[in-house]
Amino acid sequence: MDEQQINRYWKRIVNTMNDGLMLVGPEGSILMVNRAFEKLTGYGGDEVIGRPCTLLECDACEKMLQNEGRGWCTLLHEGQKDLKRCRCMIARKDGTWLPALKNASVLRDGEGRPLGVVETLTDISELDRLEEEVERLSRWLDDEGGFCGIIGESPAMVKAVEVIEKAAQSDVPVIIYGESGTGKELAAHAIHRLGPRRERPFVQFNCAALNQSLCESELFGHIKGAFTGAHRHRLGRFEAANGGDIFLDEIGDIPMPIQVKLLRVLEAKQFERVGDNMPISVNVRIISATNQNLNELVSAGRFREDLFFRINVIPVVLPPLRERTSDIPLLVSAFIRRLRKKTGKPITGLSRDVLEAFMSYPWPGNVRELKSALEYAFIIGEEGRIQPEHLPPQILKPARQGGGTESWSFGGRTLPTTPLPQRDEPRQRRELVEALRRTGGNQSQAARLLGINRVTVWNRMKKYGIDLQRVLRIPE
C-alpha cells in the first residue's frame, strides 16, 4: 500500500483503534476525532470539531491564555518535549468523569514549526476498579474462614448471619450496629459479596476520619479550583461506587451539612461535586455502620431523623465478644492457624490457664483485641502453647498479694507465680529478675515485656550483678 492509498484509508484505519484519538490544532481547537473517542466521551464528532479542547476539562492539561485571549497549549512552547504521557480525568458529555491514560505528541512541519497535537485516550476505569478489587481481596484473604470471614456458632452470631444473608438479597439500605472490633466491615463485605451487585464496585469510607470539607470532597468529589489546594478534578466515592455498594463506616460521626447531601442521594439518587452545580446521577446501595446509638443522636439533634429512617431499613446487630464467649475457641483456632502460616512458628494453641483467662476477660476491644493479643503472643512466644507470660500488658496485669509473692490477673482470675526478690532491692532489678524468670532467661523477650531494648537488659544485668543461671534455679 503506497502513501496515496494510506491517505485515502486513514480515517478507516484510525476508526479501528480501541483508544480514543483526537487531533488538536495549534490554537487549541479540535480538528478530528475517531469513533473510539466518541464512545469514550459521549460526544459525537460534529459536536466537538471546531470547539476548544478545554471542553474535556482534562485536569492534567496546563493551559495558558495569551493577552489576546488565544488559547495556546504549553506542549507547543519552544523547549517543551514533543511527547507527554499522563494519567488524568476527562469530563464526559453527561457530566461524569473518565479516568484515562493520555499520550500527547506534537506534530511539526519540516522546519520544526508546530502544526498541532495528536492525543490518544485510554480508558483505565476498569484498571482502577481492579486495583480497588485487589486491595479489597487482600484484606478479605486475611479474614477468610467461617461465613465470609465471620467466625462464630453462638446463637447471637447465627441470628446475625441469617439477617446478613437476607439483607444481601435486597437492594435497600442496610445498617450494621456493633461495638468497635465486632466485625462490621466483614459484615459489609459479606452483604456485597452475596448480593446482586457483587460484580460491581465496593467502595468504603470512614465518616469519622476527616473534617467536613474533606469528607464532602471524598464522598462527592470536586472540580479543579473548587477550593484552595484543589489542583485537579477528584472522583468522589459515590461516583466510583456507581452500580455497586458504598460502605459508610461510623456514620454517626458524619457532619450535619453532609447528612443533607447524603439524604438527597438516597431520595433522588443525585448529587453535585464540590464547586460544581451539575447534578450527577448514581445508582448505589448504601451500607452503613456505627458503634453509637443513633436514636440518642437524633434526640440530641446531632443526627437527622429523616436520614436515620432512610438508612435504618434493615438493621444488622453484631454482638460483642463478651456476649458470645462460646465462639472464642473457634476464633482462637482460626487466628492461630493464620499466624502459624504467616510466621512459621510452631505454636500449637493455648495453655489451660490462658484459655480460662480468655473466657473470663471482658474483651472491650472485641474480636480485634483478641486477634491483636494473639499476634502479640506470637511475637513473644516461640513454640508450644501460649503461656500467661506471652500475653500483652492490657490483658496480663500484675496484682500484689501477701507473703512476698506476685500474682497475675486475667479478667478477674488470679494466678500465683514466683516469689518476689526482697523489697530492699532496686525496683529495676526486681522487675528484670521477674521478667527473666517468666521468659526462661530469654533476654529479648524480657526486654519486650519491660518495654526496653535488649542492650538495656544486658546493661542492667551487669549493673546489678544478675547471674542468669542462679536466677533460673530459684524454685517457684
- Edge-first strand listing for the sheet containing 202-206: 202-206, 245-249, 285-290, 174-177, 314-317
State which fold the 421-476 domain adopts. Answer: Arc Repressor Mutant, subunit A (1.10.10)
Does residue 372 sit in helix, strand or coil? helix
Instruction: Name the residue among 252, 325, 336, 322 with its Cα closest to residue 290.
Output: 252
Listed as ranges, residues in the chain with pLDDT below 70 are: 1-7, 59-83, 129-146, 228, 230-231, 396-427, 448-449, 451, 453, 455, 473-476
What is the per-residue pLDDT for 455?
67
Q: What is the pLDDT of residue 74?
A: 58
Q: How far apart are CA 260 and CA 306, in angstroms?
A: 10
* pLDDT on residue 327: 93
> Is it true that 15-123 and 127-319 share their CATH fold?
no
Contact 191, 247 (CB under 8 A): no
pTM for this predicted structure = 0.62
Domain boundaries, the chain: 15-123, 127-319, 421-476
Q: Is domain 127-319 annotated with CATH 3.40.50.720?
A: no
> Three-class SS of residue 276?
coil
Cα-atom radius of gyration of the chain, to the nearest Å?
Answer: 31
CB atoms within 10 A of CB 25: 18
Q: What is the pLDDT of residues 103-118, one digit of tens each?
A: 888 888 877 777 888 8
Neighbour count for residue 415 (Cβ, 10 Å): 15
Give the fold, CATH level 3, of 15-123: Beta-Lactamase (3.30.450)
DSSP state, residue 121: E
Q: What's the CA gap between 124 and 256, in Å, rounded?
A: 35
Residue 243 has a pLDDT of: 94
* pLDDT single digits (tens) 253-310: 999 999 999 999 999 999 998 888 889 999 999 999 999 999 999 999 999 999 999 9
CA separation, residue 159 to residues 22, 98, 365 (Å): 57, 42, 22
Three-class SS of residue 39? helix
